[in-house]
Amino acid sequence: MKKRYLIIAFSIILTSSAYSQNKGFGLGIMFGEPTGISAKLWSGSNNSFNFAAAWSFKEDGHLLLQADYVWHNFDLIAVKSGRLPLYFGIGGRIIFDDDPLFGVRVPVGLNYQFETAPVDLFLELVPILDLIPSTNFDFGGGLGARFWFN
């Protein structure tokens, strides 16, 4: 009986949010530098705020928070099923250490949005200019997935 309810609930989740990855709120995980929890909140049909609370593995490893404002180009890459926008933006990060690091991020990535499931996948590369406590150029990036709540 429980198995039947799980199947029904899973079916409702997969079919109720088709084409919904460009509105609402998505929450998931990301792997790379950093690795942790990823969130996305759409502010318009082409713009979103992307957030992460994650672990940076650089040096001794520390908690990291980041936030970006990104623009999506839905017309650049055509796919047979779903959508694959290129995105780019600007944001910031802070790495909590004894001497915290603050930097400016410029994310560039791809965000595959499934046609019939409330899930997206993303891959990004991020040049970073650390400004505090000293100036340093760095890179971050990785891949992840989010589930969409609408």
Q: Which domains does the chain have, with CATH numbers?
A: 2-149 (2.40.160.20)
For the chain, residues with pLDDT lower than 50 are 5-19
Q: DSSP labels for 95-109?
A: E-SSS-EEEEE--EE
Average pLDDT, the chain: 88
Among 77, 58, 84, 29, smallest CA distance to 139 is for 58
Q: Is 13 exposed, middle or buried (0-12, 13-18, 19+ CB in 10 A)?
A: middle
Take residue 116 and report the two structure tokens written for it: 């019939």
Name the token pair of 78.
């055509």
CA distance 83 to 138: 30
Encoded tokens for 29: 């995980």
> Tell me: the pLDDT tens digits for 83-126?
999 999 999 999 998 889 999 999 999 999 999 999 999 999 99
